Amino acid sequence: SDDGGLDPEKLKKGFLEFEKGFKNQKSKRRKLVLKMQQEKSRREERERRRKLKAQEKEIEERRERMRQEILSERLLRLDYEDPLLTPLVNVTKDELVEETVKFDHS
């Protein structure tokens, strides 16, 4: 006899189906969130590595520039200090006096 209400069995089954679907949605959403988090952390890791590489490159370039500066600095000093590399001129007097140096070409 139909009393106008729903069959409790059907109702229960419907609820179970709904609950199952809901749980599926939740786990799908959880998986998606996890995947997005993983992608995000991968992106951040890549970015971090890229920045590190750029910093290392910058440091290396700075070192190289310093090396070059020190080198040219040394060469300049050599020019002043090493008599064989400078024109032999007596700068103490007003007129420049050329001096001669014998090079040993043996």
- Mean pLDDT (the chain) is 81
pLDDT at 49: 98
Parallel, antiparallel, or unpaired: how do β-strands 97-98 and 89-90 relate?
antiparallel
Each residue's pLDDT tens digit, 38-58: 999 999 999 999 999 999 999
pLDDT at 76: 79
Q: Is the pLDDT of residue 94 over 60?
A: no
The whole-number average pLDDT for the span 3-24 is: 84
The whole-number average pLDDT for the span 12-35 is: 91
Q: Is the pLDDT of residue 9 over 60?
A: yes
Q: Which residue has the tokens 């040394």?
A: 74
Angle value at C-alpha 100, between 94 and 103, nearest 5 degrees: 145
Indicate whether this model's pTM tops 0.95.
no
The whole-number average pLDDT for the span 62-84 is: 81
